[in-house]
Structure 1
Amino acid sequence: MSPDVEHAKRALRAELRERRQLLSEQQREVAASGITAQLDELVAAHDARSISCFLSTTTEPDTREFIIGAVRRGIRVLLPITRADGLLDWAVADDTDDVAEGLFGLPEPTGEVLGPIAVNDVDLMIIPAAAVDAEGTRLGWGRGYFDKTIGSMENCPPVYAVTYDSEVLDSLPRELHDQPVTGVVTPTRTLHLSHERP
């Protein structure tokens, strides 16, 4: 890992984290409604019956309303559970707001825990991001869970990252292990970016 690239990523994450913390409650609510509408359209466009998503933290674009709505429409939604070994377990979402606190203080589902390979059956993956660029490079929060998961999948479905509009950037620092995303979903639009996975 290049120290320069790692330093650039760390500085950018800090700046993006600070920007998110400055958003007002009203801005967050408007963003949450937009994200729900965009994700609903994305799922419909892919005719997805089984998806993976994530429980948003308080500073991320809110995914909870989308998850509950999808479950109530009969879509199977898998939510990630972090493990100490760097892999993700998964649990099937229900239409309640029950959450537990996982590693790193992240919100996680409370349902039956399924192993890492459970995600291999989804039609669409929706993952968190700090930022995404025009080439589909995704900047995560530095722990590598989603890069490892995507990189290990034999038949990876389309992968869309969720960010705020201001977090779609022209270019991002990229390393070999960084897995590109198919597209990005913001409160106002869905962009389709990379068409082929390496």
Structure 2
Amino acid sequence: MRITLLAARKAATPDARSAAAGRILAAVAELLDTVRPQRIASYVPVGSEPGRGLEKVLPAAMYPVLLPDRALDWAGGDLVAGQMRLLEPSGPRLGTSAIATADLVIVPALAVGLDGSRLGKGGGSYDRALTRVPPGVPIVAIVYDNELLPSVPAEPHDRPVTGVITPSGGFECLPRHPG
């Protein structure tokens, strides 16, 4: 499933990705107006991941720093080139537990099921980080339209998301019943 989803992302034209990014950023801005979070933890899109430009609508967010053990540290500040060829925040490191202080968490996903199950890339970094998020804090995944599916494989350690943003559907609370 991961291989198929990644291939579909790479096959999308730059124009299609750009149009999707604009609609996603508008949906994120609308979500912020509704939720009014004080502290946000968000991912930094890489490659063909949806959400290009999130830092424009989330300038004060905490962003992840991938540690050698694949855990996620968090920091704020401008995004700069990091050690692992990823953009990472330039501010002081806040520690792996800083995600627990967020009142909105925006995460990447390869796919999301209507029940809130999240399929990541398989490295486990976000699965481990999400265990630190207190119950009741919204966890929102951003995916392309074709990546919101009736179901996705889930393991016992996977933490579900409570919402999803797609280019065509905007923000939607989960779980949703198929049909």
SS at match of 2:58: helix
Note the aligned Cα RMSD (angstroms).
Answer: 1.8
Q: 64, 71, 77: which is aligned to 1:93?
A: 77
TM-score by length of 1: 0.82
Cα 1:147–1:51 shift into 2, 3 Å: same
Question: Partner of 1:49 in structure 2?
Answer: 38
Cα distance, 1:58 vs. partner? 2.3
**Structure 1: gaps spanning 5 or more residues:** 1-11
- TM-superposed CA distance for 1:156, in Å, is 5.6
Question: Is residue 2:178 matched to residue 1:194?
Answer: no
1:35 to 5, 10, 24: 24
SS in 1 for 2:98: helix
In structure 2, stretches of 5+ residues that fail to align are none
Instruction: Indicate conservation of the 8 Å contact 2:112/2:148, yes or no.
Output: yes
After TM superposition, the structure 1 = structure 2 runs for residues 138-149 of structure 1, keeping only pairs within 5 Å, are 138-149=118-129
1:184 partner SS = strand
* 1:13 and 2:2 aligned: yes
Alignment check: 8 A CA contact 1:138 1:180 kept:
yes
Across the two proteins, how many residue pairs are aligned to each other? 175
Query: Counterparts of 1:99 and 1:85 in 2: how far apart (Å)?
Result: 21
State the 1:155 CA deviation.
4.4
Contact 2:76 2:90 in 1 (8 A): no
Q: Matched residues, percent identical? A: 35
SS for the counterpart of 2:61 is strand
Letter aligned with residue 80 of structure 2: V
* CA–CA distance in structure 2, aligned partners of residues 180 and 118 of structure 1: 19
1:184 maps onto 2:164 in alignment: yes
1:21-79 Cα distance to aligned partner (Å, 9 max, x none): 01111101101101100111111111112101111112011342x322332xxxx3000
Please point out which of 38, 47, 57 is paired with 1:69: 57
Q: TM-score, normalised by structure 2?
A: 0.90
Distance change in 2, residues 1:48/1:55 (3 Å): same
Query: For residue 170 of structure 1, what is the aligned residue in structure 2?
Result: 150
Does the 8 A contact of 1:130 with 1:141 survive in 2? Answer: yes
User: Counterpart of 1:190 in structure 2: which amino acid?
Assistant: F
